[in-house]
Amino acid sequence: MRRQHLPLYAIALAILIVGLAFAGVPVNTLLIGLLVLACPLMMMFMMGGAVHGGDKTEPPPTKTDDRDQRPSGRR
């Protein structure tokens, strides 16, 4: 999703809400619909610029010695 299209999405959502209100859909139904859409919409906006797949240039972790992992209860 590109940021240049965000105003168009906002206008389309506003037109949809006004159209549904004029069609006789109750306001509480519209509010419930907006709450249901809020989570996926926030996910799209917040994760839009995230890089998926991780960083491939990082070297793999080194293997640690098993003696370092043992509990020191017995001596």
What are the average pLDDT values for consecutive 10-residue runs of the chain, which has 75 residues? 77 90 91 88 75 61 63 61
Distance CA 31, CA 53 (A): 36
Residues 6+ apart with CB under 8 A from 1: 44, 45, 48
Query: Is position 24 within any domain?
Result: yes
Query: Is position 59 within any domain?
Result: no
* Total domain count, the chain: 1
Domain membership of residue 18 as a residue range: 1-49
Query: Is position 11 within any domain?
Result: yes
What tokens were used for 1?
């999703």
Look-up: residue for tokens 């960083």? 55
pTM value is 0.50
Residues 6+ apart with CB under 8 A from 44: 1
Task: Give pLDDT, residue 47.
Answer: 78
Query: Is position 61 within any domain?
Result: no
Distance CA 56, CA 64 (A): 22
Query: Is position 25 within any domain?
Result: yes
Task: Give pLDDT, residue 74.
Answer: 62
